[in-house]
Amino acid sequence: MTQTDKTKPKAGGLSRRSVLKSGAAAAAASAFPAPMLWAQNIKDIKIVHVGQSYSTIPNIAEKANEDLDFTVEMQTAPDLTTQVNRMLSQPKSLDVTDVGNTTLKYYVGRGFLQPLNVSEYKYWDKTVPLFTSGTYPSGEKASMQGYAPIKAQYYTGPDAMEYSLEPTEWLVGMPLYYNADTLGIRPDLIGRPIDSWAELLNPEFSGKVALQDGTGVGVPDAAMALEAMGDVSYVDKGNMTREEIDKTIEKLIEYKRDGHFRSFWTNFDQSVQLMASGEVVLQSMWSPAVTEVRTRGVECVYNGMKEGYRGWYIMMMPMAHLEGLKRECAIEYMNWYNSGWAGAFISRQGFYNSVPENVKSHMTENEYGYWYEGKPATEAVLNPFGKVMEEAGVVRDGGALWDRMGNIGIWNTLMDEDRYLVRRWQDFLAA
């Protein structure tokens, strides 16, 4: 798997620009039947992008194929496991991948991804500093608890097998989008404001709370709550020691035995069902799921907690086997993805794009104001498919981008003691 593809060199020495230009020229001159070699070449190229249902949306693929001279095929993995398995076992079956930060540790030194040079990515200068330097726009250092963006943004060199905490010119990938998660709340069923993660384990809500079923999200959520309650103290709750894991799991087992948890959800739909049906009143949740509950006419809020949000991000990366013209195209496609249109599309689901500037020009003022700036909606806010999500006057829970992203308590994580944690998580599920 580590060896590079040794297929015949295609458009060897030609620079990307010239190739793309000639491609465009060919497209412009397509009235003439004369065979345009490069145009043909570029038309024959197909970039396979494998992601999940939140990034590989048919509408985006359609737009990409409209805008670009080569073909883009989007393939949606049914879940993260399948996607990572595919990357691990058949890396050559895809060209571009996008994955969440909890899996990035798996790829260090495995050789099936390739670095992206800063110069190849057009929007690096416009990217939010969270990714470029690990800071908030204020210059303040962002939380390093959990798998923070800066932990997997740079390679130490072009052929490096490890990530660098210091900026280099070799990017692990292109940050796609990110968000600040908090607890989903049913205010109508609780009747008072919720402002601390501690409430997740409040006996008042026994039998009415749910957690995400997994060590990357569920455990950080639980750790936020345990720490807020003062039950367990952590050095780094995003990267626990064995003792901290033991304490965490033992506490959680106590809660579970008392019937505190209603359910552990594994997918988006379950979390929506749980909340919308009133099975639970408080749970780990994703922003679009909260929106989905609200569009069903059920009250649901998603305000920040005083201990901060749980942050996460998605990285888009080129596979190692890409070379020559195909690599040029893949990188062109990645650049396109963050050039605004797709970012705006995804932002309408409640996620943030890493280049807000580009997105802004593809959103209405109302949309950008609502999603990014914490302004009250001046008119109805629509989801990407044209369905009304919020009426005029509504303000996004938690406010503006940096009100939310500027207050991260923990990042989704893959701990160093992952092996031990998964083993203890099994004990928790079996208890």
Please give the residues from 47 up to 86 whose contact with other proteins meets the rule CB under 8 A. Answer: 48, 52-54, 57-59, 61-62, 74-82, 84-86
CB of 261 to other proteins, least distance (A): 7
Contact status: 362 vs other proteins (CB under 8 A): no
CB of 281 to other proteins, least distance (A): 11
Binders of other proteins in range 317-356 (CB under 8 A) = 349
Binders of other proteins in range 22-51 (CB under 8 A) = 48
Binders of other proteins in range 108-127 (CB under 8 A) = 110
CB of 81 to other proteins, least distance (A): 5
Residue closer to other proteins, measured from CB, 209 or 232: 209
- The 3-class SS string of 82-130 reads HHHHHHHHCHHHCCEEEEEHHHHHHHCCCCCECCEEHHHCCCHHHCCHH
Question: Residues binding other proteins: what is the number (CB under 8 A)?
Answer: 72
Distance CA 50, CA 97 (A): 5
Calculate the dihedral angle through the C-alpha atoms of 47, 147, 255, 292, rounding to the nearest 10 degrees: -40
* Binding letters toward other proteins, positions 267-306, x by CB under 8 A: xxxx-xx--xxxx--------xx--x---x----------
CB of 354 to other proteins, least distance (A): 21
What is residue 381's three-state secondary structure?
Answer: strand
Binders of other proteins in range 134-173 (CB under 8 A) = none
Residue closer to other proteins, measured from CB, 18 or 277: 277
Segment lying near other proteins (by CB under 8 A), choices 141-149, 210-218, 237-245, 316-324: 210-218
Distance CA 316, CA 131 (A): 13
Segment lying near other proteins (by CB under 8 A), choices 228-236, 262-270, 318-326, 335-343: 262-270
Distance CA 41, CA 19 (A): 10
Among 105, 122, 362, 375, binds other proteins (CB under 8 A): 105
Residue closer to other proteins, measured from CB, 106 or 140: 106
Residue closer to other proteins, measured from CB, 9 or 106: 106
DSSP-assigned letters across all residues of 155-209: ESSTT-SSEESS--SEES-EEEEEEEE-EEE-HHHH-S----GGGGG-GGGTTSE
Binders of other proteins in range 231-260 (CB under 8 A) = 256
Residue closer to other proteins, measured from CB, 268 or 402: 268
Distance CA 1, CA 355 (A): 33
What residues have CB less than 8 Å from 88, skipping those under 6 apart? 1, 106, 110, 112
Residue closer to other proteins, measured from CB, 105 or 122: 105
CA distances to 16, 293, 382, 392, 426 from 376, in Å: 44, 20, 14, 7, 44
Contact status: 90 vs other proteins (CB under 8 A): yes
Residue closer to other proteins, measured from CB, 26 or 84: 84
Among 101, 215, 354, 358, binds other proteins (CB under 8 A): 215
Up-side HSE of residue 200: CA atoms within 13 Å toward CB? Answer: 29
Contact status: 204 vs other proteins (CB under 8 A): no
Instruction: Print burial letters for 388-417: b (CB count within 10 Å at least 16), e (below 16).
Output: ebbeeeeebbbebbbebbbbbbbbbbbbee
Contact status: 378 vs other proteins (CB under 8 A): no
Binders of other proteins in range 401-430 (CB under 8 A) = 414, 418-419, 422-423, 425-427, 429-430
Taking a C-beta distance cutoff of 8 angstroms, is the pair 330, 209 a contact?
no
CB of 217 to other proteins, least distance (A): 13
What is residue 294's three-state secondary structure?
Answer: helix
CB of 73 to other proteins, least distance (A): 9
Question: Which pair of structure tokens corresponds to residue 2?
Answer: 């580590």
Residue closer to other proteins, measured from CB, 207 or 393: 207
CB of 57 to other proteins, least distance (A): 6
CA distances to 5, 115, 116 from 119, in Å: 23, 12, 8
Taking a C-beta distance cutoff of 8 angstroms, is the pair 123, 335 a contact?
yes
Beta sheet of 116-117, edge-to-edge order = 116-117, 170-171, 154-155, 163-164
Residue 318's H or E segment, with its range, is: strand 309-318
Residue closer to other proteins, measured from CB, 262 or 326: 262
Residue closer to other proteins, measured from CB, 335 or 383: 383
Distance CA 430, CA 120 (A): 49
Contact status: 261 vs other proteins (CB under 8 A): yes
